[in-house]
Amino acid sequence: MNQRVENELRSILNDLEKIGLLENELISDCLKKDGIRIPSLNTRHLTVLLGLLFIGLGYYGFFNAGVLYTEEEKILITRDIPASVGRDNTLYFPAQVQIERDDRYVDRWHWDYGEYGDLNGFIHRFHCDRTVQPLTVTCYRQGEKFKSYNAAIKPLPRSLAFKWSADKSMHYGVLDGESRNHGLWVKFLEDKAIEAELWNNGHQVGLTKLSDSGEWEIQVKVKGFNMPQDPVNAWHKVNDGFFDIEYAKTLMNLEHDTILYASTLGKLIFPHDQSENSRNGNSLKANNISQSNQPATVQVALSSNPWIDWEGKFKEQKRKVVLLQAWYHDDPTYIDGSVPRRGPKIDISSLSNEWVDVFLQNCYRDGRIRMLEYLKLHGYEPIASNGKK
């Protein structure tokens, strides 16, 4: 292009820009007149794209909120749960609060067992994973009663904790100042100590097991930590200062058909009494307390041996639990001895009249026809304060 012509065109374009016309718009207008289309952003398309973007964001927010809502809905809190017989025919004591999460985890809070025992102001929290076989629960102490759900709640620091399993095993130990496993943990199978673990602020540093010959054999230990030769006798000393003795005594007075507090924890809290019984040739089972027709409370008043007291109370409570199972299933075979795996026949007359009266009323109230027939056959009627006719 001739330089003079180019200069004139540039001068014209500059003048047009001064009055508000842009160079690109003039070029585009000229090309359109010649039938040439210049690609440009379509405002309508832009509006549609923005609309789709906002709709997508809206759906994302809606579904995301829905997921959060669903997760919250999976936490079910129920209050004032009565006693019942649950999985593995296990007695569940009354709970003031029950929390179910994801249809898997269950926390039960207890501070009042009612007729099942006195907690003396202490607060239990049982934690359970329903998917674990056999049924296993861990019990912690809490400093305050349940107020609101808190997934990050920790047990009371420097407190006694235990784990119970339906395979009839029990672990007893303590927690440190940050609620981690600490000190000496002893495992019982039924009422016999078989294993012990040594913990240091959440880290296991030792393990010993009872051999077939009845001797404790150290399996492993970390350098710098001493594994006791006799964990049962050493438990109280090693864990001293990390548990409340009154809480331990409260547990030993809570009798359960499968949680053998008295004959397990009792050996750890009072090892010297147990050793004395062994030296004297006395056996807890040899006392034959279950044959007594008097309530265990009378025996407690008369006996000076705490082991006899606990054994008597345990056997009486176990009979009550079996009766409650019979009531729950409306099935007398739990107590009449006809099914060997359910144990021997229960002598109802060995229980206090007051307790039997309440049991009869409950059977009548809940329509336990088969149980009422069995009880009537043995001389019992559902009439308050009358007991056996």
pLDDT tens, position by position, 193-251:
999 999 999 999 999 999 999 999 999 999 999 999 999 999 999 999 999 999 999 98
The reported pLDDT for the residue numbered 156 is 96
The CA-based diameter of the chain, rounded to the nearest angstrom, is 133
Backbone φ and ψ for 28, nearest 5 degrees, come out as -60, -40
Final residue of a structural domain among 67, 83, 100: 67
The reported pLDDT for the residue numbered 168 is 85
Alpha-carbon distances of 55 from 45, 69, 92, rounded to whole Å = 15, 21, 51
Contact at 8 Å (CB) between 226 and 278? no
CA-wise closest residue to 271 among 245, 303, 236:
236
In a domain, 40, yes or no: yes
Amino acid present at 326 = A
Q: Is the CA virtual torsion 233, 235, 240, 245 positive or negative?
A: negative
In a domain, 271, yes or no: no
Amino acid present at 94 = P
47 and 23 in a common domain: yes
Whether pLDDT at 132 is above 80: yes
Residue owning tokens 């007991």: 387
Segment 53-101, tens digit of pLDDT: 777 776 666 555 444 444 555 899 999 999 887 766 777 889 999 999 9
Segment 259-279, tens digit of pLDDT: 777 778 888 987 744 444 444
In a domain, 275, yes or no: no
pTM confidence score: 0.57
Q: Which helix (H) or strand (E) holds 141?
A: strand 136-141
* Residues 364-370, mean pLDDT to the nearest whole number: 86
85 and 202 in a common domain: yes
314 and 227 in a common domain: no
94 and 58 in a common domain: no
The reported pLDDT for the residue numbered 254 is 80
* Domain span including residue 96: 74-252
234 and 367 in a common domain: no
Domain count within the chain: 3
Final residue of a structural domain among 252, 277, 305: 252
In a domain, 175, yes or no: yes
